[in-house]
A = this chain, B = another copy of it.
Amino acid sequence: MAKEDPETNFSEWYNDIIERTGLTDKRYPVKGLNVWPPYGWKLMRLIDERIRKHFEDFGYQEVYFPSLIPKSQFNKEAEHIKGFTSEVYWITKGGDSELDEQLVLRPTSETAMYPIFSLWIRSHADLPLKTYQIVNVFRYETKQTRTFIRVREIHFIEGHTVHDSYEDAEKQIADDIEIWKRVSEDIAVPYIMGKRPDWDKFPGAYYTIGADTFFPSGRSLQIATIHQYKDNFAKPYEIKFVDENGNTKYAHQTTFGISERLIASIVGIHGDKKGLIIPPRVAPIQIVIVPIPGEGVTEYSREIFEELESIKIRVKLDERDQYTPGWKFNDWEEKGVPLRLEIGKREVSEGKITYAKRTGGKASMPKEEFMHKVNSLLEEIQSELYSRAKERINSYIKPLHSLEGEIDFYPNYVYWCGEKSCANVIEEKTGKSILSTTEGFGKCIVCGREGQKTIISKKY
């Protein structure tokens, strides 16, 4: 059983539960590099598979570009470099000899991909180009690292598209917002999405849209970003095409980034003091069967196991004999398995299955009926988790009407005119950062001019 309660002591609870359940092993001897043990890696891979499906449903194709980028190629887009230069790893030696040209370990792949895109793209017929890759990227983080949240080797899913116009790139961004919505549904994680203020956009981007979710700690976590690049990268990397009229033009580009922070959000948003709750769609183990020793129980449990496996349920039969059923219940609850079957003598004699949902609630039904309903039962848990998380997050975020008086730790909605000077006042008086602006207008909480609905929060 977890030692802490996420509602009262989130940070300790988080650090403890992710290691205790086998999502990570933090004992690797380099700061910010963690080991993915089987359970955590399986979860990440199942999430990746869902993401692949959504990307490909929207016409993206998967590619894989090299991890190492030559210095000269990396240095082409000035703003981008400025944003990354303090946090890249440099490879300077191969074997015993100094390299002729130093290599950067990719912090993101723009500078690896775009020189090649400029070779792939010749005419408007080559556009749009929609690619994504699932890779590890590296950032020499100087801030405090935290597993799945701020690490030095990041599991990164990056979409890169190229278009013949700004408008077509804008359409892509609408598609990406829809892809992101589907991903978030798979992990049952609600979010607020909006435009980042100018000073917080991605280095080199024209604008950045961020999706943030919120933890019981009161802090927000950025879990997806979508960037409109305009032709900011096309110019230095010479990504040009010949249009229908024979004119050569610079292309427009977008990118889309998601990372292992999805796992942080599953842990932080669904977890409770018993441990993790993993949404069924991505759970490494969707159903665990715990036999309660008795006549015929072993055979009946195995029969159920095989039946579930044959309909592609990710099922585990826990036959360890050194543990009691009660101990196993706790163990699998802690690991967040969404559905547990308890199989004893009575289930055998009545041909029934007794199940307990990790979201609460226990019932029995005839085996046949259960097999018939199992997928909808899992989807039921998925939506319970989702709506519970929505309620929870909505309860954290309150409108803030005045900067005077006591201000609590949780995120707020304010109206803000867009001026940096007013942002400074808001950030200073609340101790929170401007996250993003969304739909809705009102008077700026600082200057009283027309402002946009803006979410502010303490950030990870």
Contacts and interface: CB of A to CB of B under 8 A. Distances in A.
Interface of A: 25, 27-30, 33-38, 41-42, 44-45, 61-68, 70, 73, 85-96, 103, 105, 112, 115-116, 119-120, 131, 136, 138, 140, 142, 152-153, 155
Query: Which label, helix, strand, loop or mixed, suits the secondary structure of the A interface?
Result: mixed
Nearest to A155: B64
A331 B42 CA distance: 38
Given A44-B64, A67-B153, A105-B105, 19 more contacts: A25-B119, A27-B116, A27-B119, A28-B112, A29-B73, A35-B63, A35-B65, A35-B116, A36-B64, A37-B63, A38-B61, A38-B63, A38-B131, A45-B62, A68-B89, A88-B95, A89-B91, A91-B92, A91-B105
A43 to B, nearest CB: 11
Contact of A36 (B29, B63, B93, B95): B63
Q: Which of A27, A41, A131 has the most CB of B within 10 A?
A: A41
B66 A30 contact: yes
Contacts of A68: 30, 33, 89, 138, 152-153
A66 B34 contact: yes
Contact of A85 (B73, B87, B95, B142): B95
A136 B87 CA distance: 22
Contacts of A112: 28
Contact of A94 (B67, B93, B140): B140
Nearest to A34: B66
A90 B120 CA distance: 32
A116 B34 CA distance: 11
A87 B89 CA distance: 19
A317 to B, nearest CB: 15
Contacts of A62: 38, 41-42, 45
Contacts of A63: 35-38, 41
Given A27-B116, A61-B38, A62-B38, A95 B86 contact: yes
Contacts of A61: 38
Contact of A92 (B66, B92, B116, B138): B92
B95 A140 contact: yes
Contacts of A103: 30, 89
Nearest to A33: B66
A159 to B, nearest CB: 13
Q: Which of A89, A103, A112, A119 has the most CB of B within 10 A?
A: A89
A89 B85 contact: no
Contacts of A41: 62-64
